[in-house]
Amino acid sequence: MTSEEFVNLRKKLKKTQAQIAQLLGISVKAVRSYEQGWRAIPPHVERQLLFIITRGDKKTKSQKACWTITKCPDEKKEKCPAWEFDAGKFCWHINGTMCNGVAHESWEDKIKVCKTCDVLLSLL
């Protein structure tokens, strides 16, 4: 996540730096560092922020599961943790999902794919 993306999501939530720090369980100094680009935004902070932003929106309630949106074949779907845990609206939040036919090993690799996918894009 870039510093600009972080700032945009914080503003979309209508939170001050202090409020977003409290929500994310981090210091205000960390928030300022992320927004200025002085520090990289850790995966756990990015993940938490994306979760909060998607939960605050009514779109999540009406969203279809990822396997429906992406027309995932049964053989792929049955190997996917999103299917196993009935988390088709939160596939982007779960490591090991079968996005593009493979399970990505790191959050950084996975979220690059998710940021181009209709499942997450429809929530942001």
User: Cα(117)–Cα(106) distance, rounded to whole angstroms?
Assistant: 17
pLDDT at 118: 86
User: Cα(99)–Cα(110) distance, rounded to whole angstroms?
Assistant: 8
CATH code reported for the domain at 3-51? 1.10.260.40
Q: Is the dihedral of CA 98, 100, 105, 111 positive or negative?
A: negative
Mean of all residue pLDDT scores within the chain: 88
Local confidence band at 78 (pLDDT 50, 70, 90 cut-offs): confident
pLDDT of residue 57 exceeding 80? no
Domains of the chain by residue range: 3-51, 61-121
pTM attached to this predicted model: 0.76
